[in-house]
C-alpha cells in the first residue's frame, strides 16, 4: 500500500526524528477517528527549516516570520457556520487517492515549542501533524466554537495514539 503522506524532508534532523513515520501515524489516526478509509486519501508534507517556513508564511499569509505548521487544503472544506463539522471528502469513484493538500512543518520552531512545553519533540510534532491534517479536512480555529471542536478532536485523536492532551490545563494552544 502506498504511503498516505508523501513526505519530503529538507533537513537531516527530520529524517533522524522519523518525520515520515510520525506523519503516517498521525494521518492514519485522524482518518480512522473520523471514520474515513485511510488508503483513499493522500497528503504532501514538507519538513523544512525556520527560514523556509518564514518565506512560505510571508508568501501565503503575509506574515514574514517562522511558524510551526502551515496547511494548504486542495479545496475549501470548511463548515458553513462556526462550531459545525465540515463535510468530509468522499473517496474518489475511480479508486485513486483523493489529494487533500499540503502541509509544511518547521524544525526549529517545533523544537523550541516542545522544549517550552516540556514534551518530547516527536510528541509535539505528532500533535502538529494531527492539527495540519484536520486543517486539510476543513477544521479550523478562527473562532471559539471552531477552536473548541478542533482542539477536542485533536485531544481525542492524540489519546488514541497514546499521546497526552496538549490542551490539558492550558487556556491557549501554541498551534498555528
CA angle at 89 for the pair 27 and 152, rounded to the nearest 5°: 55
4 and 40 Cβ atoms separated by less than 8 Å: no
Asked if residue 127 belongs to a known ligand binding site, the reply is: no
Q: CA 28 to CA 18: how far, in whole Å?
A: 16
Find the helix or strand (DSSP H, E) in which 14 lies.
helix 12-17
Asked if residue 135 belongs to a known ligand binding site, the reply is: yes
Q: CA 55 to CA 22: how far, in whole Å?
A: 24
User: Residue written as cell 510551526?
Assistant: 68
Residue 70 bridge partners (DSSP): 104
126 and 21 Cβ atoms separated by less than 8 Å: no
What 3-state class would DSSP assign to 161?
Answer: coil
25 and 126 Cβ atoms separated by less than 8 Å: yes
Asked if residue 124 belongs to a known ligand binding site, the reply is: no
Known binding-site residues for Zn(2+) equal 131, 135, 141
Q: Which residues are annotated as a binding site?
A: 131, 135, 141
Amino acid at each position: 500500500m502506498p504511503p498516505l503522506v508523501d513526505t519530503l524532508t529538507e533537513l537531516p534532523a527530520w529524517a533522524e526524528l522519523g518525520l515520515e513515520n510520525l506523519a503516517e501515524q498521525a494521518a492514519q489516526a485522524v482518518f480512522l477517528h473520523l471514520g474515513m478509509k485511510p488508503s483513499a486519501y493522500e497528503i504532501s508534507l514538507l519538513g523544512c527549516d525556520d527560514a523556509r517556513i518564514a518565506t512560505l508564511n510571508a508568501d501565503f499569509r503575509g506574515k514574514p516570520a517562522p511558524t510551526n505548521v502551515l496547511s494548504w487544503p486542495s479545496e475549501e472544506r470548511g463548515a458553513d457556520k462556526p462550531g459545525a463539522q465540515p463535510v468530509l471528502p468522499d473517496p474518489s469513484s475511480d479508486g485513486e487517492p483523493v489529494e487533500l493538500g499540503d502541509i509544511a512543518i518547521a524544525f526549529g520552531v517545533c523544537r523550541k515549542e516542545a522544549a517550552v512545553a516540556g514534551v518530547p519533540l516527536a510528541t509535539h510534532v505528532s500533535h502538529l501533524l494531527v492539527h495540519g491534517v484536520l486543517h486539510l479536512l476543513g477544521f479550523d480555529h478562527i473562532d471559539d466554537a471552531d477552536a473548541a471542536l478542533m482542539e477536542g478532536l485533536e485531544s481525542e485523536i492524540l489519546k488514541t495514539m497514546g499521546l497526552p492532551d496538549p490542551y490539558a490545563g492550558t487556556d491557549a494552544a501554541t498551534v498555528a
